[in-house]
Amino acid sequence: MRVIRVGTRKSQLARIQTDSVVAVLKALYPGLQFEIVAMSTTGDKILDTALSKIGEKSLFTKELEHALEKNEVDLVVHSLKDLPTVLPPGFTIGAICKRENPYDAVVFHPKFAGKTLETLPEKSVVGTSSLRRAAQLQRKFPHLEFKSIRGNLNTRLRKLDEFQEFGAIILAAAGLQRMGWQHRVGQILHPEECMYAVGQGALGVEVRAKDQDILDLVGVLHDPETLLRCIAERAFLRHLEGGCSVPVAVHTAMKDGQLYLTGGVWSLDGSDSMQETMQATICVTAQHEDGPEDDPQLVGITARNIPRQAQLAAENLGISLASLLLNKGAKNILDVARQLNDAH
């Protein structure tokens, strides 16, 4: 029986996410065996520094890509938001699975059960490892203080519950759902309060770009709507040259053949911001493809089973929205945010 080796981070959430993908693959390919290889990444090891300060794009992916390169694993399951918009040469995202809830969730200290961010006492400290969340929420809830909190989900929840430092912490709703911790969600943040990170809530499967066999194997996992939304989001972020050291956020929706993309940029304290919405017509009906392209990748993603025109339209939407913001002065907001983040 052929063995397919699947790389993953060691955290409980990463294992749960990887197991869910492997379960689907096992059902599709009963003749194959799947072996899970877990490893620690730089981001898992450096826990005393805010993510935005480490200054490394592939914090949670580098070691896994190294294993992929050395042929120690055949595919790697990631949270899509951890994958940079430009992948190292030789790699591609071969599948983007159906997105779960992309929103952010608030988990409150037990003593504040039943509260919302709005009703938390003055000067309460809210923990988040994300500049994007802190910038948006500071603007919306000026009575609160925001402080970095690191570690995997288990660690962060323990820090919240066992110490009196934080009144609440902000986490991705999808991660809490996958861990079975929905009961801890005290509030879901909607786009008008906090837009989400590019790719949030979706899982990406990274493979060797030239490994056609594995690309074919995982390609069936692509969820067309999630794929197109995430192409638009990633193209927006790439064109803005954003990463985790600047506050950039998005919101996307597909409705009646239209893809809607809202994107925004913020200063670190949220006082300065800019956001716009654009839409594009996306036709997802299959069309005849003339043959393989030389470089089928768009924003690091390969999806030969989804109409190319639809993918290009989604990418174009992201680029157009980024260009619109840049023309209106977004570059200045991002440059200042980058410099301030580097200086702190």
Catalytically active residues are: 82
Can you tell me the distance from the alpha carbon of 60 to that of 199, in angstroms, rounded to the nearest whole number? Answer: 15
**What phi-psi label fits residue 259: left (phi over 0), alpha (psi between -120 and 50 degrees) or beta?**
beta
Q: To 10 degrees, the CA torsion angle through 114, 120, 126, 132?
A: 90
- 168's CB contacts (< 8 A; 6+ apart) are 106, 107, 108, 109, 112, 115, 117, 120, 124, 126, 127, 160, 186
**What phi-psi label fits residue 144: left (phi over 0), alpha (psi between -120 and 50 degrees) or beta?**
beta
In sequence order, what DSSP letters do the residues of 154-206 get, joined into one string? HHHHHHHHHSSS-SEEEEEHHHHHHTT-GGG--EEEPTTT-PBPTTTT-EEEE
Can you tell me the distance from the alpha carbon of 230 to that of 251, in angstroms, rounded to the nearest whole number? Answer: 10
Four-residue CA torsion sign, 64, 69, 73, 74: positive
Can you tell me the distance from the alpha carbon of 249 to that of 275, in angstroms, rounded to the nearest whole number? Answer: 9
Q: Outline where DSSP puts E strands in 91-174.
A: 91-96, 104-108, 125-127, 145-147, 168-172
| DSSP state letter for 298 | B
